[in-house]
């Protein structure tokens, strides 16, 4: 039986077993080592550098935490859209729009209210910005018949261009306009940090709370149950009388909103640059897609895996600083991990279907 | 070319589509393959044309065993199939479609191919503009193109799978004439159909399939009754439900016309009182589904009115039909009815009639356990629905129907169930009719239709006859399904 035929006959998915997953991860490390060898670096040295780059000092760990929070928020959001069976590739744009809305609100109210109130309002604005952008992708899919992947990609580009326009145009720094971003906000509008540990408990806490709430919503509420029904069988869900459009838009809105919150974190976070700049989403949204794929939509596993990915992302910066290697090697390792786990999953279901014959 | 199939078996999961089929088709004849939908005809022909590989058995062409692994290979040995839904490329031009699949050199000699197309077409009086887009052609013309494409590839055995379902009667005449001419040229033609009259008028010999097996083989002409018996079995029974007290109208169809891309059901008027059971009979795809779906609010009639309990429902969304008390049970268990990847508890939670914000899992588990008990489902509340056997999935579908409904619309309510379960399920369903529920159900089981319905709507190519069940016997029903009395 060829894979397509097998797929046509078994329309449910198989989950890769634990052993298969561990094997895939080991294989990814071996391949990564191979890439490093080609580049003329000792793999052990590189892995050690990544680890020390992530855990070598409190400041470095703080950076990891700073990267972890937005990935957590986005992963939580993606659990919702994946549950509904859609690929929210537009999540990067949703982060950006969150950052744009948050920045806009901060600029508007900068001197009028207490900093805490402004920060909270900015968080709402960020959530709304991302949610609206997400729902736009959803609306394009539902009413314009545009696949959410293409719609999302297009909206990512538009959001990116919008930041360039804002940074060079209406929101440019006094005097000079440069792509390095808008005028940074004063420290009063930063999230408060621990002394000597440049990370705010609020960021990571927000991510963990979002993850917990999403898990609760998907498992415990009728909203989550129906959303999962839609994701697993659109037609059957429709026939059961579930209002598909409403639920789909809500899923996009929720995911976009959480991504928008990540955008807010990227503006006001402790180790952030405290302004709006092009590419502010930094690929965290795509990274979150990898996390959720790797964990097979498990919220529980998404927490440590997103942390692990943040470690690789931040740690691999050391490869650039100390070995003149490109820091995107971190991305290579992350990508390899996901690819191999997915391939292993594919192989496993193929072998299983062959055994059934 | 003589075709022999020996002991062919093929199963899909638990379903035996072909079960030890042996069939021999003489060279240069027009051989009919008759049977209900789901009898295994298409599977058998897909095996012969290399689309599917059999689990067991062998294929002999002119006495030589061959092993087919792909349609391309079977065309190379001379067997070509015209599929029920044309497998062509509507966005391409006629000439491009014609040359697709031909083992040409990498350079396309369009001039030569154009001449070949025109020459082949003129042999059969087909008229094509080689540069026309395929999407501008009718289904009949697309069939004609596919036939000469296959002939152009050197096919000597031509299989046609239900070729007449979507073409006009003139095109049908033309097709039959073409097929006769092909056999005169020495080609072998296998004509797969569920339409008795067509097979009778066209073929020189007919094999009948039922439940994956060959149930008979007769040379034509042969009386219709004999074919009906081979298709549907031997028993002759008579409808039983005669005097049933009926209530106010639950469903009214007034002059309803409904269609899809291949079929139209015209001007149907029907009044269904509370408590009545109506069977929709007919070979698959004769229009039953169109009517059932429009009653469910899933298909909007182009003309006419639908009323549920005297309430105007025409053009209202599906969810309004649900609110009005209509329950629809689809045939596709795992495709449309159940959600693979979810447990029985989750399914029970989904049908919670008064959902609050949080799911009451304890209540859902209780409901699931009750339904498992009541419907005798072999499974646990925590079992995933795809792990249930087909019959138990069917029971689950029935178990998930809302407890109160005015109108039950069901496709093949007892498919895959044994006699005893069927009896039990119908007892539950008839209990509902006592409380005023009306039932419309599609079935291909003639016994079931006669046994359970008060009236039967018989569909044939979109046309409808209404038959009182009382006193009707199986043979009359079978003949009507095959098209008798419709012309």
Domain ranges in chain B are 3-232, 235-336+405-487, 339-399
pLDDT of residue A20: 79
Considering only CB atoms, which chain A residues are within 8 Å of B328? Answer: 239
Does A221 touch chain B if contact means CB atoms closer than 8 Å? Answer: yes
Helix (H, G, I), strand (E, B) or coil at A184: coil
Task: Take residue A128 and report the two structure tokens written for it.
Answer: 């709304």
What are the residues whose beta carbons fall under 8 Å from the beta carbon of A209, sequence distance 6 or more?
A: none
Chain B residue with the nearest C-alpha to that of A242: B319
Out of B334, B339, B359, closest to residue A222 by CB: B359
- Note whether B319 contacts A241, CB cutoff 8 Å: yes
Could you tell me the domains of chain A? Answer: 1-7+17-41+325-357 (no CATH), 63-321 (1.10.3470)
ipTM: 0.82
Alpha-carbon gap: B358 to the closest alpha carbon of chain A (Å): 4
Distance of residue A235 Cα from the nearest chain B Cα, in angstroms: 6
Q: Which residue of A has its CA nearest to B55?
A: A357
The C-alpha of B273 sits at a distance from chain A's nearest C-alpha, in angstroms, of 25
Beta-carbon separation of B338 and A233 below 8 A: yes
Separation in Å, CA of B380 to nearest CA in chain A: 19
Q: Do residue B336 and residue A235 have CB atoms under 8 angstroms apart? A: yes
Report, as an integer, the average pLDDT of A216-243: 93
* CA distances to B25, B183, B192 from B30, in Å: 9, 7, 10
Instruction: Using the structure block, give the residue that is written with the tokens 């040229």.
Output: B185
Q: For an interface test with A, which of B43, B320, B324, B336 has the most A Cβ atoms less than 10 Å from its Cβ?
A: B336
- The mean pLDDT value for A323-350 works out to 82
Could you tell me where the DSSP H helices lie in B205-314? 224-232, 288-296
Question: What is the pLDDT confidence band of residue A13, given thresholds at 50, 70 and 90?
Answer: very low
Q: What is the pLDDT at residue B238?
A: 55
**Cβ contacts of A220 on chain B, cutoff 8 Å:** 358-359, 361
Chain B residues lying within 8 Å of A13, measured CB to CB: 341
| Overall average pLDDT of the A178-187 stretch | 85
A164 touches chain B (CB under 8 A): no
Q: What is the dihedral of CA B141, B144, B146, B147, to 10 degrees?
A: 170
Alpha-carbon distance B7 to nearest alpha carbon in chain A (angstroms): 19
pLDDT at residue number A338: 84
**What is the pLDDT at residue B234?**
57
Searching chain A, which residue's CA lies closest to the CA of residue B401? A240
Answer positive or negative: Cα dihedral of A301, A307, A308, A309: positive
Q: Phi-psi region for residue B381, left (φ > 0), alpha (ψ -120 to 50) or beta?
A: alpha
pLDDT digits (tens, 9 = 90+) for B292-306: 999 999 999 999 999
Q: Which percentage of chain A shows pLDDT scores above 90?
A: 49
Q: Three-state SS for B387?
A: helix
Rounded distance between C-alpha atoms, residue A65 and residue B128, angstroms: 69
Which pLDDT does position A353 carry in this prediction?
67
Which residues are CB-neighbours of B212 under 8 A, at least 6 positions away?
B16, B17, B18, B19, B21, B39, B40, B43
What is the average pLDDT across A261-273? 90
Separation in Å, CA of B140 to nearest CA in chain A: 29
Q: Round to whole Å and give the CA distance between B233 and B228.
A: 8
- Cα B317 to Cα B330: distance, rounded to the nearest angstrom: 18
SS3 B78: coil
Minimal Cβ distance to A229: which of B319, B337, B339: B339
Q: How confident is the model at residue A88 (pLDDT cuts 50, 70, 90)?
A: very high
Q: Are B40 and B98 in contact (CB under 8 A)?
A: no
The reported pLDDT for the residue numbered A11 is 36
Q: Do A232 and B340 touch (CB under 8 A)?
A: yes
Strand-strand pairing, B213-219 and B188-193: unpaired
In this predicted structure, what is the pLDDT of residue B418? 72
Q: What is the pLDDT of residues A286-307, one digit of tens each?
A: 999 999 988 888 899 899 999 9
Residue to substitute from A83, A213, A222, A353, interface B, most B β-carbons within 10 A: A222
The list of chain B residues with pLDDT below 70 reads 14, 37-38, 103-105, 165-166, 233-245, 487
Q: Report the residue of B298, B316, B343, B358 to disrupt the A interface, i.e. the one with the largest count of A CBs within 10 Å.
A: B358
Q: Using CA atoms in the order A213, A219, A225, A229, what is the torsion angle rounded to 10 degrees?
A: 110
CB spacing of A222 vs B355 below 8 angstroms:
yes
Q: Supply the pLDDT for residue B237.
A: 56
Does residue B303 sit in helix, strand or coil? strand
Chain A to chain B, count of Cβ pairs less than 8 Å apart? Answer: 68
Q: In this structure, what token pair is assigned to residue A177?
A: 């306009």
* Nearest CA distance, B318 vs chain A (angstrom): 7
Q: C-alpha B404: how far from its chain's center?
A: 30
CB < 8 Å to B342, chain A: 228-229, 232
Q: Please determine, for residue A2, whether its predicted confidence score (pLDDT) is greater than 50.
A: no
What 3-state DSSP class applies to B440?
strand
How close, in Å, is residue A210 to chain B by CA atoms? 18
Give pLDDT, residue B299.
92
| Region for residue B136 given its phi and psi (left: phi exceeds 0; alpha: psi -120 to 50; beta: otherwise) | alpha
CB-closest option in B336, B340, B355 to A239: B336
Which pLDDT score, from 0 to 100, does residue A9 have?
Answer: 38
Contacts B338 to A, Cβ<8 Å: 233, 236
For the cut 70, the answer to whether the pLDDT of residue A132 exceeds it is yes
The rounded distance, in Å, linking the Cα atoms of B486 and B289 is 19
DSSP β-ladder status, B3-12 and B64-66: unpaired
Say whether A11 and B335 touch across the interface (CB within 8 A).
Answer: yes
For residues B29 and B34, what is the distance between their CA atoms, to the nearest angstrom?
Answer: 16
As a CATH number, domain B235-336+405-487 is 3.40.50.300
List the single residue in B330, B355, B386 with the smallest CB-CB distance to A239.
Answer: B330
Nearest CA in chain A to B13: A9
Q: Quick one: which of A86, A2, A101, A3 has its CA closest to A345? A: A3
8 A C-beta contact, residue A62 and residue A271: yes
Distance, CA of B395 to CA of B409 (rounded, Å)? 16
When the candidates are 3.10.50.40, 3.40.1190.20, 3.40.50.300, 3.40.50.720, the CATH number that belongs to B3-232 is: 3.40.50.300
pLDDT for B122 equals: 85
Residues on chain B touching A12 (C-beta within 8 angstroms):
334, 340-341, 386
- Chain B residues in contact with A233 by the CB 8 A cut-off are 334-336, 338-341
Per cent of chain A over pLDDT 70 is 93
- Global pTM reads 0.76
A281 φ/ψ angles, rounded to the nearest 5 degrees: -70, -20
Which of A12, A13, A241 is facing B322, going by the closest CB pair?
A: A241
3-class secondary structure per residue, A193-235: CECCECCCHHHHHHHHHHHHHHHHHHHHEHHHHHHHHHHHCHH
List, in sequence order, every residue forming a beta bridge with B422; answer none if it has no partner: none
Residues of A in contact with B349 (CB under 8 A): 222, 225
Q: Pick the more confident residue, B97 or A216.
A: A216
What crossing angle do the helices spanning A244-268 and A201-220 adopt, rounded to 10°? 170
Query: Omega into A19 within 30° of 0, i.e. cis?
Result: no
Q: Are A99 and A263 in contact (CB under 8 A)?
A: yes
Assess B334–A contact: CB distance below 8 Å, yes or no.
yes
Query: Which distant-in-sequence residues (6+ apart) come within 8 Å of A22 by Cβ?
Result: none
Residues 284-323 of B with CB under 8 A from A: 318-319, 322
DSSP E strand stretches across B231-302: 249-259, 264-273, 277-281
Three-state secondary structure call for residue B380: coil
Best mutation target among B324, B339, B340 (most A Cβ atoms within 10 Å) is B339
Interface with chain A: mutation pick from B327, B357, B359, B363, highest number of A CBs within 10 Å: B359
**In B, which residues are within 8 Å of A229 by CB distance?**
339, 342, 346, 350
The whole-number pLDDT of residue A10 equals 40
Phi and psi torsions of B417, nearest 5°: -100, 150
Give contacts of A 3-42 with B, CB under 8 A. Answer: 9, 11-13
Contacts of B50 in chain A (CB under 8 A): none
Q: How confident is the model at residue A128 (pLDDT cuts 50, 70, 90)?
A: very high
Distance CA(A93)–CA(A137), nearest Å, equals 10
CA distance A190 to A274: 7
Strand, helix or coil for residue B210: strand
Chain B residues whose CB is inside 8 A of the A235 CB are: 335-336
Q: Report the alpha-carbon distance of residue B75 to residue B93 in Å, rounded.
A: 22
The beta-carbon neighbor of A225 closest among B318, B334, B346 is B346
Task: Give the pLDDT of residue B441.
Answer: 95
Task: Check CB contact under 8 Å for B357 and A221.
Answer: yes
């Amino acid at each position: 039986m060829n894979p397509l035929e097998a797929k046509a006959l078994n329309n449910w998915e198989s989950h890769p077993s634990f052993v298969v997953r561990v094997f895939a991860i080991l294989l990814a490390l071996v391949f990564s080592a191979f890439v490093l060898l080609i580049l003329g670096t000792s793999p052990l040295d590189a892995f050690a550098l990544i680890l020390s780059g992530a855990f070598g000092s409190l400041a470095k760990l703080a950076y990891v935490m700073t990267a972890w929070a937005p990935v957590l928020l986005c992963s939580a959001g993606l659990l919702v859209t994946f549950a509904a069976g859609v690929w929210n590739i537009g999540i990067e744009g949703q982060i950006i729009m969150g950052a744009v809305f948050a920045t806009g609100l901060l600029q508007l109210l900068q001197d009028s209210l207490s900093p805490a109130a402004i920060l909270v309002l900015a968080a709402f604005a960020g959530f709304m910005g991302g949610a609206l952008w997400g729902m736009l992708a959803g609306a394009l899919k539902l009413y314009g018949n545009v696949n959410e992947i293409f719609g999302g990609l297009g909206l990512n580009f538009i959001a990116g261009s919008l930041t360039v326009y804002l940074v060079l145009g209406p929101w440019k720094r006094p005097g000079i306009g440069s792509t390095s971003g808008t005028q940074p906000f004063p420290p009063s509008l930063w999230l408060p940090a621990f002394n000597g540990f440049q990370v705010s408990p609020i960021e990571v806490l927000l991510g963990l709370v979002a993850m917990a709430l999403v898990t609760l919503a998907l498992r415990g509420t009728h909203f989550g149950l129906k959303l999962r029904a839609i994701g697993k069988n659109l037609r059957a869900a429709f026939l059961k009388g579930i209002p598909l459009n409403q639920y789909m838009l809500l899923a996009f809105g929720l995911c976009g909103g959480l991504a928008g919150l990540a955008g807010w974190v990227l503006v006001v976070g402790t180790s952030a640059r405290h302004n709006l700049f092009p590419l502010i989403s930094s690929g965290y949204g795509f990274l979150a897609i990898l996390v959720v794929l790797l964990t097979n939509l498990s919220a529980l596993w998404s927490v440590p895996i997103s942390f692990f990915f943040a470690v690789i992302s931040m740690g691999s910066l050391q490869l650039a600083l100390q070995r003149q290697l490109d820091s995107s090697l971190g991305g290579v390792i992350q990508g390899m991990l996901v690819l191999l786990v997915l391939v292993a999953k594919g192989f496993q279901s193929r072998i299983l279907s062959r055994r059934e014959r | 070319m003589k075709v022999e199939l020996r002991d062919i078996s093929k199963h899909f999961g638990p379903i035996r589509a072909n079960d030890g089929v042996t069939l021999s088709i003489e060279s240069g004849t027009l051989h009919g393959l008759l049977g209900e939908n789901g009898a295994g005809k298409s599977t058998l022909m897909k095996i012969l044309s290399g689309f599917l590989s059999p689990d067991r058995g062998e294929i002999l062409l002119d006495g030589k065993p061959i092993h087919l692994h792909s349609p391309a290979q079977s065309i190379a040995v001379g067997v070509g199939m015209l599929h029920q839904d044309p497998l062509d490329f509507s966005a391409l031009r006629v000439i491009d479609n014609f040359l697709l699949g031909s083992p040409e050199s990498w350079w396309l000699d369009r001039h030569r191919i154009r001449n070949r197309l025109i020459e082949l077409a003129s042999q059969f009086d087909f008229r094509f503009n080689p540069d026309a887009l395929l999407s501008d052609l009718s289904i009949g013309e697309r069939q004609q193109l596919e036939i000469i494409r296959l002939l152009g590839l050197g096919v000597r055995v031509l299989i046609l799978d239900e070729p007449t379902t979507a073409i006009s009667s003139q095109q049908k005449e033309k097709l039959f004439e073409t097929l006769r001419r092909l056999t005169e040229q020495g080609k072998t033609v296998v004509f797969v159909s569920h339409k008795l009259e067509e097979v009778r008028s066209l073929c020189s010999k007919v094999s009948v399939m039922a439940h994956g097996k060959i149930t008979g083989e007769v040379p034509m002409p042969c009386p219709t009754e004999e074919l009906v018996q081979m298709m549907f079995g031997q028993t002759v029974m008579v409808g039983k439900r005669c005097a049933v007290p009926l209530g106010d109208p639950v469903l009214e169809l007034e002059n309803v016309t409904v269609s899809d891309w291949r079929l139209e059901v015209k001007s149907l008027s029907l009044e269904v009182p509370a408590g009545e059971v109506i069977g929709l009979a007919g070979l698959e795809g004769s229009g039953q589904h169109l009517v059932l779906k429009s009653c469910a609010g899933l298909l909007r009639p182009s003309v006419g009115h639908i009323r549920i309990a005297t309430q105007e429902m025409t053009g209202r969304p599906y969810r309004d039909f649900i609110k009005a008390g209509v329950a629809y049970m689809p045939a596709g268990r795992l495709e449309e009815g159940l959600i693979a990847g979810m447990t029985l508890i989750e399914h029970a939670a989904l049908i919670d009639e008064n959902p609050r914000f949080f799911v009451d899992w304890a209540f859902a588990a209780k409901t699931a356990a009750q339904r498992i008990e009541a419907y005798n489902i072999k499974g646990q509340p925590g079992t995933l629905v795809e792990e249930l056997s087909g019959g138990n999935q069917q029971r689950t579908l029935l178990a998930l129907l809302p407890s109160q409904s005015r109108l039950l619309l069901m496709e093949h309510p007892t498919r895959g169930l044994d006699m005893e379960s069927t009896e039990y399920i119908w007892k539950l369903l008839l209990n509902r009719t006592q409380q005023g529920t009306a039932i419309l159900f599609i079935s291909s089981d003639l016994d079931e239709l006669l046994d359970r319905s008060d009236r039967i709507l018989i569909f044939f190519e979109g046309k409808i006859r209404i038959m009182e069940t009382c006193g009707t016997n199986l043979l009359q029903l079978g003949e009507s399904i095959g098209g008798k009395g419709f012309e």
